[in-house]
Amino acid sequence: MFLLETPHLRLTELGASDAGFLVELLNSPTFLQHIGDKKVRSVDDALRYLAEGPAASYALHGYGLWRVALKKDDTAIGICGLVRRDVLPAPDIGFALLPAYAGQGYGYEAARACRDHAFEVLGLPRVLGITDDANLASKALLEKLGLSFTHYAALYEGEPPLRVYALAQPKVA
* Proportion of the chain in helix, strand, coil states, percent, rounded to 5: 35, 30, 35
Interval 2-59: pLDDT, tens: 689 999 999 999 999 999 999 999 999 999 999 989 999 999 999 999 999 999 999 9
Look up the domain containing 76 and give its range. 2-168
CATH number at residue 160: 3.40.630.30
Question: How many distinct structural domains can be found in the chain?
Answer: 1
In a domain, 173, yes or no: no
CA nearest neighbour of 131 among 82, 86, 101, 94 = 94
pLDDT at 173: 57
Residue 164 burial by CB count (10 A; 0-12/13-18/19+): exposed, middle or buried? buried
Single-letter amino acid, residue 126: R
- Considering only CA atoms, which of 38, 124, 30 is closest in space to residue 81? 124
Instruction: Kindly state whether residue 99 falls inside one of the protein's structural domains.
Output: yes
pTM higher than 0.85: yes
Q: Is residue 16 part of a domain?
A: yes
Position 136 scores a pLDDT of 94
- The pLDDT tens digits of the residues spanning 127-146 come to 999 999 999 999 999 999 99
The answer to the question of residue 160 being in a domain is yes
In a domain, 136, yes or no: yes
